[in-house]
Amino acid sequence: MRHSFLIIAILIAGRISAQEFSQISAGPGYGNQSFYSLESDQEQTVPNESWDLAFSLVPESAGVHFNEATASVMGAPAPFLEVYVAPGLTFEEVVDLSGVTDTLYNPETNWGEGAFNTPANPADLMDVGWGKRNPTTGEIEGDRVFVVKLRDETYRKVMIEKQNADGVYAVRTAMLNGMQEVLFIVDPADYGSSPLAFLSFSTSQVTAAPTGWDLAFLRYRSLIFDGTQPLQYAVTGILTAPGVEVAQADQVDPETVGFEEYADSLETRIDVIGEDWKYFNLSAFSWEIVTDRAYFVKLPDNHIWKLQFIDFEGSSTGTATFIKYDLGIVTSTQRPESLIRDFGIFPNPVAEQLNLAFSLNDQPEQVEVQVFDLTGRLVWSVPIQGHQGLNGLSFQVPDTLTGLCQVVIATNAGQVSQLVLFQ
């Protein structure tokens, strides 16, 4: 069992554990995306339709996301992007949509893993989903063709041809018949300190995403259980920036709960805050806030903030109100992070084979894969031999394993989990 010995150092800058009311907004009808800085209390907004694909510019990252955001007009969603794999095709071939079936979604685990990365074989550590890395040169050669359905219901085929050792992407796009081909070069050096580059098919331009933000408030798609079946549903929630860690504290008094108890619960997943700090009360026909929950947000400079949501106005304004508490700087003799990080399951839903990948910061005493049904009952488990670093594993699942379940990677020093649909 690991133990973290924390030295909590509050750097006084005119106030200690000061609190402040703040707002963040996706705009009326959720038409915008807001990128917010906790330190400056400033938000930068971009329209949903301003970009289609996002390329991670973080060093040694090959993440390619698509824009899942869609506005909501009188309760009805506006047209949204869709992404598919075109199996077995080269870029030069004409794409027949009848052979394109696999719908992809962003996992919302980290900015280094988007929808274009999800076809990766977790047993092949060189496979990044859209291509394979050359272990000698560090370059990634594209080997998959994708189809993007745009908001106007036209289609483009896309192939990330290469990412060189400096992180420069070469991206080819065209109509399904090969017409109107465009080659985009996405060079991190062109976008300053921005963690993402945004590509727009409508403008044929690549632009820098906002910089200096900690929280992104926007629409994205998440696997939701609606009482009868799971489905990918458009939600409005918060994703965190690269390098930001979050711990969720439940069944607490948000005003008084302290960080020390949750220092070992910090996670790098970008959807820890997510969308479930609120829920829609059908009886009252209004949005309600989970009142006994707080979030601790640790920035890359070790600055800690506590967040307490107090209001959400829904699609009328798209505005959320929260209290933020400045807890200062935390230093530690051992960095307070989870033993497990970068947890992912591919594909999701799962048919016959469960493929999972995760990284371990240390060598654990024991690791077990556990599956729980929605009542919390353990329905399947298997011990595994985990090792420090990246782990990629595949399992044949029992025929009796069906429906929406919680898959857990459990160690002696903590656990991570993800909702998975077994078919």
- Spatial distance between the Cα atoms of 226 and 374, rounded to a whole number of angstroms: 12
The matching CATH number, chosen from 1.10.238.10, 3.90.700.10, 3.30.470.20, 2.60.40.3080, for 340-422 is: 2.60.40.3080
- Spatial distance between the Cα atoms of 88 and 115, rounded to a whole number of angstroms: 18
Q: What is the pLDDT of residues 217-264, one digit of tens each?
A: 999 998 777 666 677 888 999 999 999 999 999 999 999 999 989 999
pLDDT of the residue at 74? 58
71 pLDDT tier (thresholds 50, 70, 90): confident
| Domain boundaries along the sequence of the chain | 22-43+214-332, 52-208, 340-422
Could you tell me where the DSSP H helices lie in 338-414? none
pLDDT of the residue at 287? 95
Quote the tokens at residue 309. 């949501």
Q: Which of the residue ranges 160-169, 214-223, 259-268, 341-350 would you say has the lowest mean pLDDT? A: 341-350
pLDDT averaged over every residue in the chain: 87
Q: Which of the residue ranges 60-64, 258-262, 272-276, 364-368 would you say has the lowest mean pLDDT? A: 364-368
- Spatial distance between the Cα atoms of 146 and 73, rounded to a whole number of angstroms: 29
pLDDT of the residue at 12? 30
143 vs 403 pLDDT, higher one: 143
- Given a cut of 90, whether residue 273 has pLDDT beyond it is yes
Quote the tokens at residue 237. 């929630």
pLDDT of the residue at 365? 63
- Given a cut of 80, whether residue 341 has pLDDT beyond it is no
pLDDT of the residue at 7? 32
Contact 236, 262 (CB under 8 A): no
- Spatial distance between the Cα atoms of 87 and 109, rounded to a whole number of angstroms: 25
* Strand ordering across the sheet containing 367-372: 378-384, 367-372, 403-411, 414-422
- Rg of the chain, C-alpha, whole Å: 22
Mean pLDDT, to the nearest integer, of 116-141? 92
- Spatial distance between the Cα atoms of 44 and 37, rounded to a whole number of angstroms: 9
Contact 268, 298 (CB under 8 A): no
Quote the tokens at residue 352. 């016959």
pLDDT of the residue at 413? 66
Q: What is the pLDDT of residues 294-337, one digit of tens each?
A: 999 999 989 999 999 999 999 999 999 999 999 998 754 333 34
Pick the closest to residue 241 from 38, 378, 388, 417 (CA basis): 38
Contact 170, 206 (CB under 8 A): no
In the block, tokens 């959720």 appear at: 30
Pick the closest to residue 320 from 273, 254, 262 (CA basis): 273
10 pLDDT tier (thresholds 50, 70, 90): very low
Pick the closest to residue 114 from 167, 163, 155, 53 (CA basis): 53
Q: Can you give the length of the chain in residues?
A: 423
417 pLDDT tier (thresholds 50, 70, 90): confident
- Given a cut of 90, whether residue 355 has pLDDT beyond it is no
The pairing of strands 230-240 and 215-225 is antiparallel
pLDDT of the residue at 13? 34
Mean pLDDT, to the nearest integer, of 53-58? 96
pLDDT of the residue at 9? 35
pLDDT of the residue at 6? 37
pLDDT of the residue at 372? 82
In the block, tokens 């390329």 appear at: 55
Residue 74 CB partners (closer than 8 Å, separation 6+): none
Contact 297, 307 (CB under 8 A): yes
18 pLDDT tier (thresholds 50, 70, 90): low
- Given a cut of 70, whether residue 381 has pLDDT beyond it is yes
